[in-house]
Amino acid sequence: MFSGKNVFGALRNPVLQVTIANLASVGLGTVSGVLTARGLGPEGRGAWAVVMAFFTVALVVAEIGQSGAVTFFVARDPHRRREVVRRARRFMLVGGLLVAAAGIIAAPQLAGGVREVEDAYRLASLGIIINSLFAARLFAMQARDIRRWNVVRVAQPLFYAVGVAMMLVLGDVSVRGVAIALVASTSLQFIVLGLLSLKLSTETDGLSPARSVEVDVNLARQSAGDSPDHVSQGVYGMRYSAAAVPTVLAAQYDKIALSRLVSSPEVGFYAVGSTVALLVAPFSAAIANVVFPRASKRELGWRERRTVETKTIVHVCAVSLLVSAALCASAPLAVPFFFGSAFTASVPVVWALAAVMVARSVSQVAGALIRARGLPGAAAVAQITGLVLGAALMLPAVSSVGLLGAAVALGIGESVTLAILLISLGRMQRSDRRLSVVVDA
């Protein structure tokens, strides 16, 4: 029987918690997108979309893979978390300073001579340095306390939405002002992180002993020198970055390329369509965020791992298809209602990107499962291949089809990425089975 007790029990489920947090983050991001679109108009929204694309890509580059490395190593060895966080901060500070300096120097060229947009690029570069100083603790929190991690993640889009809303109420929305709101919200997020970290218990659970002969598969890998234990945090981070950077580029390069191929209002239409189509992301991201630290644990046997991986892929496929179908059905009414009639041209973009976002969602989860095996390089091969193919097709596709050509090129790249990831994961599962036969013998 349905009861309050059942509801509270369900809310303890980590996947549901992360899904709720992701929905809140994307919902707040969508609200911010609506407010900026209404305040800046198609041309200003297009300019800001490119600044955000730069910020998103630069942020991941500056992290040098430590977003994954910290979570991975803290999940495996919780007692070493302080050492892992300190080391990550050093790596990220170097990367952040270099990337931010490049952004500041290149701002005039990126902005096309528009002073306000130039200031926005410089402010975004400042946000990169702030992230480099404090984000390592956030990555560690993902492995230690999902609930608090969710709260911190939601804080930034909440503060950002409030800032943009205040500017709209005051009637003074500008690209520079929105950039200030971005940097301020990022800083406030890390203040929340510091407060919650003080309350987080320093106690950690001991590592569980191997439960069965299945775990000997991991020992067999270690003896063969294929264990993630033999990989340093820096090396793991570089391998993780090799997959993470192409992944974030795949999510942003279409807007960056369009900014050079079509007018700013058209980029604005595409950006709004992309915002709506991306509403499928909270569900797949929730699954990836929970399964990555869990599947990174030492004691997971090969049969249990295979079951987790197979069920996870099936679930994310089903959820992504359902959500994308709902978005396509509601787009003709929802887009003009929320963003304004000026953005009606964004509706076909939503339809064109729907299947692309399903492929990206499944790729995101498949990549997380592979990285949880301590093999981020295998995920990187798939991401780089899809990125290169999509980028190569972008110019001819946009020249032939127009604005929707970007979705075509993006879709081909995402499909190739997904195919390679699923083939690689299947090979790893078969390899686990062969190793188990050797151990049993």
Give yes or no for a contact between 240 and 68, defined as CB atoms under 8 angstroms apart.
Answer: yes
Average pLDDT on 269-282 reads 86
Interval 5-51: pLDDT, tens: 543 444 466 667 777 887 888 789 889 988 998 899 888 888 898 89
Interval 88-110: pLDDT, tens: 999 999 999 999 999 999 999 98
For residue 223, is pLDDT > 50?
no
Model-level pTM?
0.68
Per-residue pLDDT band for 377 (boundaries 50, 70, 90) equals confident
What's the confidence (pLDDT) of residue 297? 66
Q: What residues have CB less than 8 Å from 239, skipping those under 6 apart?
A: 65, 231, 376, 377, 380
* Listed residue (396, 107, 142, 145) closest to 289, CA to CA: 142
For residue 438, is pLDDT > 70?
no
What's the confidence (pLDDT) of residue 43? 86
What's the confidence (pLDDT) of residue 250? 74
What is the chain's length?
441
Interval 70-87: pLDDT, tens: 988 888 888 888 999 999
What's the confidence (pLDDT) of residue 107? 94
What's the confidence (pLDDT) of residue 299? 61
For residue 206, is pLDDT > 50?
no
The full DSSP string for 315-337 is HHHHHHHHHHHHHHHHHHHHHHH
* Listed residue (176, 134, 180, 146) closest to 160, CA to CA: 180
Per-residue pLDDT band for 374 (boundaries 50, 70, 90) equals confident
Interval 51-60: pLDDT, tens: 998 999 999 9
Quote the crossing angle between the two packed helices 66-76 and 233-261, to the nearest 10°.
150
Domain boundaries, the chain: 13-199, 212-441
Highest mean pLDDT among 123-137, 186-200, 333-347, 387-401: 123-137
- Residue 386, CA distances (Å) to 155, 416, 417 in order: 33, 5, 5
